[in-house]
Structure 1
């Protein structure tokens, strides 16, 4: 088996090398030491006119003609403007899964193996011809015995093994590229393959995709404007998804829409993306026109949830800062959002700020209607590549979702503007920030984190001193008596500071409780405010007694 696997790997490498040669990349092939009689066929040695088209187009053709994993690599890279220049992303976005459907006999075998029962026992009708086919799988229309019209997504036979073999080969090519092609090092070929491996694992996990569909279905099942297909879990496995059939047309294929209909579709999609990001914190990562359908009842349906993005609390907060900064034209707030993402490390921060402010200058002076999200993020990613900044994966997915949505929306209804739609969300965010309950929550969280840090400080100091004393590179001699005195003083100081912070926090809490005007009340003030005042008095007394005792002890 190992011998057969090696033969297949060599054959696949030869295929890719010859495709690169045909597209005029012979110099790269020579630099990588692939220019051997065993790998390069005679036809590939014929002269080419490589000046007729640019490099991104030629690379896209290599991926297209190679098929399989290379098409998926290109599709993934079209999402990663942070890794490669935008002109490559735009060209790779044209890659389509132009693959032949696999035979119905194989479809039947896979479904029956997954369901452990004959096809005829589950479905009243099953169309043998697929309604769609791609490199990962294909979709068939069917009707359950209970009467529901469904779409069956079936994974292509042995696709996992095929992709694993291609990924193994891609790792080898990436290693050789990093070794011999210094100009490719900034693009991190091995990292790209690692990203692709994760990307593929997600797309091949049909159960994960079904769970993603379910999250969006629960959110929108009662929506008058948005439709998400229902998953039939009893007929869903790791290789087969059974979901509600969406009877509609791709937005990209619809003609003769009125201006009002175009406006409705655009605004519905825009508002849905904003809602997904800022309310659900989970969003469709590839909302291109082929994944968005217009149904006969006028609803907009989202399909294909193989790749979704998720916002952690920290990422969500910094995306909110970015949005507010864009809407208000606040460059300092925009910079703060990037610093909050933890992306600015080991660089000339002042020069970085200057470059960003120069790139963002046009957006600072533009009206909201003139702000183009694609241009904004392109300039940002260009600077990111210059400073070798690694952007969070889910942030990149979010950028792709926004840029893709804006792209087709501009074609459908140019008058609409994504930032204008976000304006209402910004107003909501600002109101939320000023809400007394939110202020109290943020203060309580901050006070807890701060006091925890202070309480840990003496122990952290002891640990640091221990590391310095026992370190192999740094030796520090410490007088233990003085160290103990210092530690006791730090303990006392941190305890006083902690008491002070808690008392201050309670004072602010008291004010917020009075403003909130909560019931029950005593002498016209909320009872909780009186409790807070009592705690302030008690803690202040304890702190005063503690300080008095310490001073008397020092005098004695």
Structure 2
């Protein structure tokens, strides 16, 4: 236990040094982290200022990269959440490279044998010593089974779980520390982000989750001729080893017409696959960057790496369909109400202001081809707008927004004349019409009618109950506001200082009376000493409340 504590403290020192070195020393000072680490903690006042052309987001990316695998993964998670960070931070964090020096082949063989319980020679006919890729959590080798099937084997690095667990404990501590010194956290707190990262990274450490994702996506894609999902070899997989079919193809960012590829068809295949995953399966690839999409010689596409897969419920699919149709019809009122309904407003949002902002976005984008759009995408702008109006978007929609932005960027590179909405709108209309099909097996029409009937029956009785409560004096309205909370905080602080002052005054008077009577001089000096201590505490409390200002997260993220 003591050894683990010392290791954590040493790791915390490393983090503090890196934070100060990358120009975040002033924020480190406000967290009072030096009080925890001791006098030999990194000095922050004399830290050289960052170069003027070094933006805050870029320095943050460099900081995460320096701190190692756990923090690199945290940056990659944040890069998939445009609802948490501004777009220029997302763009910067996307550049985080998860490359690591490859493991020696002896360690790889030992990990395979340990994970699958048999010697490598019994499991594979051959295994390439040179890895196809080497990342912080795992590295990938090409192999051939004894049945002659080419496969890829994903091998988890040894001791990576222990390292991540240690860093996660520190991240939870730092998140709680930040919440005490951050002026405003928007609609997400540091603890919320770290808890989600904790769940995500533990899912990634268990390759069984990725295997299930791959199987579900492969089962859903049965019968579709435009997409290939590699098969999982269950007998050659475990929580630390994952074996899938090897797919031969060209990375989508490298396809060229001179290589015999029809770029328009490739782009349409990407769109069809994406929309069918959304509107038919409710299961979509959450990280479709160019390295995870291969183009086969016949222009079909193959998807790789299923560590991040998004899932939409039927209700979420329907909300998304209605949103797309409303965007296509230039209906800002419906778009505003949908975004307000599918999200969780942090405070009252004036729907009129929200609607007018959406109208401005729709007027700016609709009717343009992808090669005519020079600024951020429509989806990102809508998401940024919802955040600006303090509407918390569910994680599934945020992951979908990031995946859609990535897909749009890929299509812009290979075939910018394709109109994504025009190609995808028929799929949305198909799902929308199926909702009101009486023969629909899911019974959505009947469910909607039942909800309408229940609403018609419940509203009169609920309204009557409200009137009865109002008449009987049982109806209460609670009023809350940020200004009132601040006033309450000031009143509490004033109460603390007045209480300490009264105690100090009482002890001073009492001590002087006792000393004057000469009956118990020790008791008198003790009362005066206590009064001095209480006065000092009141003065320190007042000074600290004036001097220690919280970090402005909004100003930091705007840099």
TM-score (norm 2): 0.76
Cα deviation for residue 286 of structure 1 reads 0.7
Listed as ranges, the matches of 1:12-411 within 5 Å are 12-35=11-34, 38=39, 40-41=41-42, 45-184=46-185, 188-254=189-255, 257=258, 261-344=262-345, 346-363=347-364, 366-367=367-368, 374-411=376-413
How far, CA to CA, are the matches of 1:443 and 1:278 in structure 2?
17
Cα deviation for residue 293 of structure 1 reads 1.3
Question: What are the ranges of 5 or more consecutive residues in structure 1 without an aligned counterpart?
Answer: 475-556
SS at match of 2:377: helix
Moved more, 444-453 or 224-233: 444-453
Moved more, 31-40 or 46-55: 31-40
Cα deviation for residue 199 of structure 1 reads 1.6
Question: What are the ranges of 5 or more consecutive residues in structure 2 without an aligned counterpart?
Answer: 477-559
How far, CA to CA, are the matches of 1:181 and 1:105 in structure 2?
47
Moved more, 98-107 or 252-261: 252-261
How far, CA to CA, are the matches of 1:466 and 1:109 in structure 2?
74
Cα deviation for residue 45 of structure 1 reads 4.8
Moved more, 287-296 or 31-40: 31-40
In structure 2, relative to structure 1, the CA distance for the partners of 1:137 and 1:175 (3 Å cut) is same
How far, CA to CA, are the matches of 1:107 and 1:55 in structure 2?
38
The question of whether the paired residues in 2 share the 8 Å contact of 1:318 and 1:340 is answered with no
Aligned to 1:417: 419
SS at match of 1:395: helix
SS at match of 1:182: coil
Moved more, 259-268 or 415-424: 259-268
The question of whether the paired residues in 1 share the 8 Å contact of 2:333 and 2:355 is answered with no
In structure 2, relative to structure 1, the CA distance for the partners of 1:259 and 1:32 (3 Å cut) is farther
In structure 2, relative to structure 1, the CA distance for the partners of 1:372 and 1:437 (3 Å cut) is farther
- Measured against aligned partners, the alpha-carbon deviations of 1:125-148 in whole angstroms (never above 9, x if no partner) come to 111221111112111111111111
Cα deviation for residue 450 of structure 1 reads 4.6
In structure 2, relative to structure 1, the CA distance for the partners of 1:460 and 1:435 (3 Å cut) is closer
The question of whether the paired residues in 2 share the 8 Å contact of 1:78 and 1:93 is answered with yes
How far, CA to CA, are the matches of 2:442 and 2:218 in structure 1?
34
Relative CO higher for 1 or 2, CA cutoff 8 Å, sep ≥ 6? 2
How far, CA to CA, are the matches of 1:246 and 1:260 in structure 2?
17
In structure 2, relative to structure 1, the CA distance for the partners of 1:160 and 1:267 (3 Å cut) is same
- Measured against aligned partners, the alpha-carbon deviations of 1:495-550 in whole angstroms (never above 9, x if no partner) come to xxxxxxxxxxxxxxxxxxxxxxxxxxxxxxxxxxxxxxxxxxxxxxxxxxxxxxxx
In structure 2, relative to structure 1, the CA distance for the partners of 1:160 and 1:350 (3 Å cut) is same
In structure 2, relative to structure 1, the CA distance for the partners of 1:214 and 1:257 (3 Å cut) is farther
In structure 2, relative to structure 1, the CA distance for the partners of 1:459 and 1:128 (3 Å cut) is farther
CA RMSD in angstroms comes to 3.4
SS at match of 2:33: coil
Aligned to 1:449: 451
How far, CA to CA, are the matches of 2:187 and 2:160 in structure 1?
31
SS at match of 1:385: helix
